[in-house]
Amino acid sequence: MTRITLGGAVLRGTVSAALMASLMSASALGAAPVDLSKWSPEYVRSIAGTQDFDTAADCGKVTPLDYKGRLTFWYQGVFEGDPDLLRQYYKDFFETFRKTYPNIQLEEQALTYNDLLDKFRTALLGNAAPMAVRLQILGGTEFASKGYLEPLKPEDVGYSTEDFWPGAMKAVTWDGTTYGIPTNNETMAFIWNADIFKRAGLDPDKAPATWDDVVKYSKQIHDKLGIAGYGLVARKNAGNTPYRFMPQLWAYGGGVFDEAAANPTYKQIELASPQSKAALQASYDMYVRDKSVPVSALTNQQADNQPLFLAGQLGMMISHPSDYNVMLDLQKKATGTDKDKAQTVIDNMRYGLIPTGPDGKRAVVFGGSNIHILKPEYVEGGKVDEPAAKAIICMWTSPEWSLKMAYAGSNPGNLNGFKTKWMKERLDSIKFLDVTTSMLPYGIPFPALPQSPEIMNIIVPDMLQNALTGAMTVDQAADDAAKKVKELMGGGL
Amino acid sequence: MLRKIWEHRADYAYVLPAIAVMLIVIAYPIYYTVELSFFNTPPGLQLRDKNFIGIDNYTAILTSEVFWKVTWNTLIWTLGSTFISFVLGFATALALHRDFIGRGVLRAILIIPWVISAVAASYIWKWIYHSDFGIIGAVLVQLGLADRPPNFIDSVSTVLPSLIVVNIWREFPFAMIMMMAGLQTVPDQLLRAAKVDGANAWQRFWHVTFPHLRNVSTVTILLLAVANFNSFIIPWIMTGGGPSNASHIWITHIYELAFGRQRWGVASAYSVLLFLILMSLGYFYVRALSGNERKDGSA
């Protein structure tokens, strides 16, 4: 399989100043441990393995290693769509924490992405929350704005704010105060099956350049081979949907608000703009007009696209670098001729940059997770063991563990993670990592608003479903969604 | 009256713990839900910072398009599931009431859908129905009966009937068991007498068997109706109320409003309305039970 080198692509590409600025504020550039202005696969390779870190010693300065305490901790853990490799690192992390802090009684609970918010909200209402929580990037401002979280900044656990992506720090900041620390940050990439491209009469080594091309390619694949072209996902209450639709929306020049701008104000609702409607129209064309995407897109999530892709029944999809490892894991479980078929698909797996919109705009969701400490009044028992909470936060956000816990699927929240020996090892062992790290400068964070989870998990998927099922026209669906966002922002019922 | 109460003091003492538990786990949540239904709970505020808005939540619900859509779905879901489950259960009970070889095994097999976990069943059916590689679609395509797999749960027009089929599959054994129990109470001598009098099978069923089963039928139908009104697992796991709200019923919509959108006030108002409907069904259920008791001469 050919490794795709995209060295110059980032610099040659149409990276808008606005997008760059949204992630890399000028004030942060100078003091960051890595030079974000030089970001490219070559630069990432050049810094990998250049510095050693002693996690236990560093965290021992925050919370003494012989500290005796008790900690309840919930986190968004690995789920069925993650590779076994990541599962092992999660196991290793908790084992290492227990060895490093033998006197802290840790009671951890893993929850899936889709379940965590509901369970956490319910626990908060009953003052039964854990002392610390690792939430998806979308959740931080919601809970900070409601006053559930303690102020917490990287300096509180021995790091500096500049050690983290400026865009990620925005997601943990509410009303000028920092309420959490990013653990990992990620951008996805575009994945395709070169063999399917070839058989459909497309260039097997070239990703579709624009979203309009995706629509065309998807139709061509479907018409020629009778299989699904693009892995569209439009399920409600599933994180996969906004992560796949928002890049399309932004590329066409649309948005929920002006979140793709350098300094978003979130005042103007853009969901009903012609650009947003064009993005929705592209999904409509694939699902309804061309029928070139999985019919099950309305009830499925990305984890359902993975076996379709491995079975050679899907031509293209947006996903993490970890999908390559997921495919290897799935292939190991296959039997008989299925195993060979799966191997053929893996050999033909290609990664590329996510396509641009008609004006050359390229965008991807700047995703990830953050870790927070709760206020005692919302915690079961009314007490928070702050040193114990800081101990686990220090460890998880350390260069070592923020890298290892994001090994196959994401990137370290702590920028120093890129300098570790594990990053070097990762670059050599995780195929296509170059491509997904190349997407980082195109990343746009979700609006840092308490209403964001509802907008992204319910209103945007509803808009897609209304258009794709024919319950509404594309125009009506976009107008309806814009109206709902307006009502939501106005505090409506 | 006081003397009567005093005479029955032991009886009151026996039911006191149950009443105390009910007050804590039922009465207080009901009170709190009713209270919350008069407040606005915006997503940027904690629940304790709620704003009093009078009956605005009820007005908003009754004037919203979604409410009527969800109510219509709920009616179709409840009536469809209840009626067909009952008819199917009753028919199966009649068939299994006859004596034939393998009756016990068949009875045990038919109970399986009712005893397996609803969550597991929902996931299995989701895969059976899968619009791209579900087993039903694959078989139909293999047999040449369809060009492509039918769209069961990704279409607004077929999703609700598809979910109702799953619900019927799961709960008809309950109706079957209830009706089988009822059939045991039909006096054999009456059926024999009717036969001697020249009544055919249908006449014996309609004039002898069915009147004896009227009360157990009423109770079964009411229990099924209450269970279906409150049904959450199948629609939530299989479709989450989608696509485009086409399979949202009241209970899933309330859940989404409360836990997905944090509209605790509106969700509470919905819950109050649902509570009133279920209480009405509960009233008829108790009346049916009391009717039974009076006829049995035990009350």
Between the alpha carbon of residue B96 and those of residues A84, B188, B221, the distances in Å are 50, 16, 20
Residue B273, helix vs strand vs coil? helix
Which residue in the set A125, A308, A458 is minimally distant from B132, CB to CB? A308
CB atoms B256 and A125 under 8 Å: no
According to DSSP, residue A349 is labeled E
Residues of A in contact with B239 (CB under 8 A): 299
A338–B contact, CB cutoff 8 A:
no
Rounded (10°) CA dihedral B224, B228, B234, B239: 150
As to burial, measured by CB atoms within 10 angstroms (0-12 exposed, 13-18 middle, 19+ buried), residue B58 is: middle
A469–B contact, CB cutoff 8 A:
yes
What residues pair up with B39 in beta bridges, in sequence order?
A: B52
- Model confidence pLDDT, tens digit, residues B38-91: 998 877 778 888 889 999 999 999 998 889 999 999 999 999 999 999 999 999
> Which is nearest to A327 in space by CA: A111, A114, A85?
A85
CB atoms B131 and A236 under 8 Å: no
Residues A283 and A464: beta-carbon distance below 8 Å: yes
**What does the alpha-carbon distance between residue A369 and residue A153 come to, in Å, rounded to a whole number?**
15
User: Does residue A42 have a pLDDT over 90?
Assistant: no
CB atoms A236 and B133 under 8 Å: no
CB atoms A145 and B154 under 8 Å: no
**What does the alpha-carbon distance between residue A141 and residue A161 come to, in Å, rounded to a whole number?**
17
CB atoms A491 and B44 under 8 Å: yes
Q: DSSP assignment of B65-89, as one string?
A: HHHHHHHHHHHHHHHHHHHHHHHHH
> Which is nearest to B207 in space by CA: B190, B188, B224, B219?
B190
Q: Min CA distance, A307 vs chain B (Å)?
A: 11
Q: What is the mean pLDDT of residues A351-359?
A: 93
Q: Strand A314-319: give its sheet, edge to edge.
A: A228-230, A314-319, A189-193, A349-352
Q: How confident is the model at residue A21 (pLDDT cuts 50, 70, 90)?
A: very low
User: How does pLDDT run along chain B (299 residues), one tens digit per residue?
Assistant: 788 888 888 999 999 999 999 888 889 999 999 999 999 887 777 888 888 999 999 999 999 888 999 999 999 999 999 999 999 999 999 999 888 888 889 999 999 999 999 999 999 999 999 988 889 999 999 999 888 889 999 999 999 999 999 999 999 999 999 999 999 988 889 989 998 988 898 999 889 998 989 889 999 999 999 899 889 999 999 998 989 999 999 999 999 998 888 889 999 999 999 899 888 888 887 777 776 655 554 43
User: Does residue A280 have a pLDDT over 50?
Assistant: yes
* Single-letter amino acid, residue A30: G
So what's the pLDDT on residue B293? 59
Q: What is the mean pLDDT of residues A175-199?
A: 93
Q: From B130, which residue of chain A is nearest by alpha-carbon distance?
A: A296
CB atoms A313 and B46 under 8 Å: no
CB atoms A125 and B238 under 8 Å: no
CB atoms B47 and A125 under 8 Å: yes
* Helix locations, B64-153, DSSP H: 65-97, 103-115, 118-129, 135-142
So what's the pLDDT on residue B291? 67
CB atoms B149 and A295 under 8 Å: yes
Residues A71 and A131: beta-carbon distance below 8 Å: yes
- Bigger pLDDT: A15 vs A83: A83
* Helix locations, chain B, DSSP H: 2-7, 9-22, 28-36, 56-63, 65-97, 103-115, 118-129, 135-142, 159-183, 188-196, 201-204, 210-229, 233-238, 250-255, 264-296
**What does the alpha-carbon distance between residue A187 and residue A411 come to, in Å, rounded to a whole number?**
8
Gyration radius from chain B CA atoms = 24
- Residue B52 structure tokens: 């009093």
Residue A443, helix vs strand vs coil? strand
Q: Secondary structure of A296-343 in the HEC alphabet?
A: HHHCCCHHHHHHHHHCCCEEEEEECCHHHHHHHHHHHHCCHHHHHHHH
> Which is nearest to A376 in space by CA: A127, A78, A179?
A127
User: Which of B268-276's residues contact partners 24+ apart within 8 Å by CB, and which partners?
Assistant: B268/B33, B268/B34, B268/B35, B268/B36, B268/B37, B268/B57, B269/B37, B269/B57, B269/B58, B269/B61, B270/B61, B271/B33, B271/B37, B272/B33, B272/B34, B272/B37, B273/B58, B273/B61, B274/B229, B274/B250, B275/B30, B275/B33
A334 φ/ψ angles, rounded to the nearest 5 degrees: -70, 160
What residues pair up with A356 in beta bridges, in sequence order?
A: A210, A362
Q: How confident is the model at residue A38 (pLDDT cuts 50, 70, 90)?
A: confident
Q: How confident is the model at residue A100 (pLDDT cuts 50, 70, 90)?
A: very high
Q: DSSP assignment of A153-164, as one string?
A: -GGGGT--GGGB
Between the alpha carbon of residue A12 and those of residues A8, A25, A38, A240, the distances in Å are 6, 21, 13, 29
- Model confidence pLDDT, tens digit, residues B175-196: 999 999 999 988 889 989 998 9
**What does the alpha-carbon distance between residue A70 and residue A103 come to, in Å, rounded to a whole number?**
8
So what's the pLDDT on residue A29? 42
**What does the alpha-carbon distance between residue A69 and residue A387 come to, in Å, rounded to a whole number?**
8
- Model confidence pLDDT, tens digit, residues A243-270: 999 999 999 999 999 999 888 899 999 9
Residues of A in contact with B155 (CB under 8 A): 469
CB atoms A465 and B244 under 8 Å: yes
* Interfacial A residues in 73-132 facing B (CB < 8 Å): 118, 121-122, 125
Q: Min CA distance, B40 vs chain A (Å)?
A: 7
User: Does residue A84 have a pLDDT over 50?
Assistant: yes
Residues of B in contact with A113 (CB under 8 A): none
Residues B61 and B67: beta-carbon distance below 8 Å: yes
- Residue A236 structure tokens: 């409600």
A51–B contact, CB cutoff 8 A:
no
**What does the alpha-carbon distance between residue A180 and residue A162 come to, in Å, rounded to a whole number?**
14
Q: What is the largest CA-CA distance in chain B?
A: 80
Q: Which helix (H) or strand (E) holds A28?
A: helix A26-31
So what's the pLDDT on residue A90? 93
ipTM here: 0.81
* Single-letter amino acid, residue B115: V
Average pLDDT, chain A: 88
Angle at B98 between CA B97 and CA B100, to 5 degrees: 125
Which residue in the set B45, B132, B265 is minimally distant from A294, CB to CB? B132
Q: Min CA distance, B216 vs chain A (Å)?
A: 39
Residues of B in contact with A469 (CB under 8 A): 155-156, 243-244, 246
- Bigger pLDDT: B46 vs A51: A51
* Single-letter amino acid, residue B220: T
Which residue in the set A122, A146, A469 is minimally distant from B45, CB to CB? A146
Residue A257, helix vs strand vs coil? coil
Q: Min CA distance, B148 vs chain A (Å)?
A: 10
User: Does residue A15 have a pLDDT over 70?
Assistant: no
A306–B contact, CB cutoff 8 A:
no
**What does the alpha-carbon distance between residue B291 and residue B277 come to, in Å, rounded to a whole number?**
21
So what's the pLDDT on residue A32? 79
Residues A61 and A158: beta-carbon distance below 8 Å: yes
So what's the pLDDT on residue A250? 97
Residues A229 and A292: beta-carbon distance below 8 Å: yes
Which residue in the set B56, B240, B245 is minimally distant from A237, CB to CB? B240
User: Does residue A7 have a pLDDT over 70?
Assistant: no
Which residue in the set A299, A454, A493 is minimally distant from B239, CB to CB? A299
Residues of A in contact with B146 (CB under 8 A): none
What residues pair up with A370 in beta bridges, in sequence order?
A: A135, A182
pTM of the predicted model as reported, rounded to 2 decimal places: 0.84
**What does the alpha-carbon distance between residue A311 and residue A78 come to, in Å, rounded to a whole number?**
23
Q: DSSP assignment of A230-246, as one string?
A: E-----TT-THHHHHHH
Q: Which domains does chain B have, with CATH numbers?
A: 54-114+159-298 (1.10.3720.10)
Q: How confident is the model at residue A326 (pLDDT cuts 50, 70, 90)?
A: confident
So what's the pLDDT on residue A493? 64
A382–B contact, CB cutoff 8 A:
no
SS3 content of chain A, % helix, strand, coil (to 5): 50, 15, 35
> Which is nearest to A14 in space by CA: A479, A394, A434, A354?
A354
> Which is nearest to A183 in space by CA: A191, A171, A195, A193?
A171
CB atoms B126 and A299 under 8 Å: yes
Between the alpha carbon of residue A270 and those of residues A109, A256, A260, B274, the distances in Å are 38, 5, 11, 37
**What does the alpha-carbon distance between residue A401 and residue A416 come to, in Å, rounded to a whole number?**
11
Q: Min CA distance, B9 vs chain A (Å)?
A: 37
Q: How confident is the model at residue A341 (pLDDT cuts 50, 70, 90)?
A: confident
CB atoms B243 and A296 under 8 Å: no
Residues A158 and A347: beta-carbon distance below 8 Å: no
Residues of A in contact with B154 (CB under 8 A): 295-299
**What does the alpha-carbon distance between residue A56 and residue A96 come to, in Å, rounded to a whole number?**
10
- Bigger pLDDT: A164 vs A301: A164
* Helix locations, A63-183, DSSP H: 84-100, 113-125, 140-145, 166-170
**What does the alpha-carbon distance between residue B93 and residue B270 come to, in Å, rounded to a whole number?**
37
Q: How confident is the model at residue A334 (pLDDT cuts 50, 70, 90)?
A: confident
**What does the alpha-carbon distance between residue A103 and residue A67 come to, in Å, rounded to a whole number?**
6
User: Which of B284-290's residues contact partners 24+ apart within 8 Å by CB, and which partners?
Assistant: B284/B218, B284/B222, B285/B219, B285/B222, B285/B223, B285/B226, B288/B215, B288/B218, B288/B219, B288/B222, B289/B219
So what's the pLDDT on residue A350? 92
Helices then strands, counting H and E runs in chain A, come out as 23, 14
Residues of A in contact with B246 (CB under 8 A): 469, 471
CB atoms A450 and B238 under 8 Å: no
Q: Provide CB contacts within 8 A for A263, sequence distance 6+.
A: A21
> Which is nearest to A136 in space by CA: A243, A225, A63?
A243
Give me the total of CB pairs closer than 8 Å, taking one residue from chain A and one from chain B.
Answer: 95
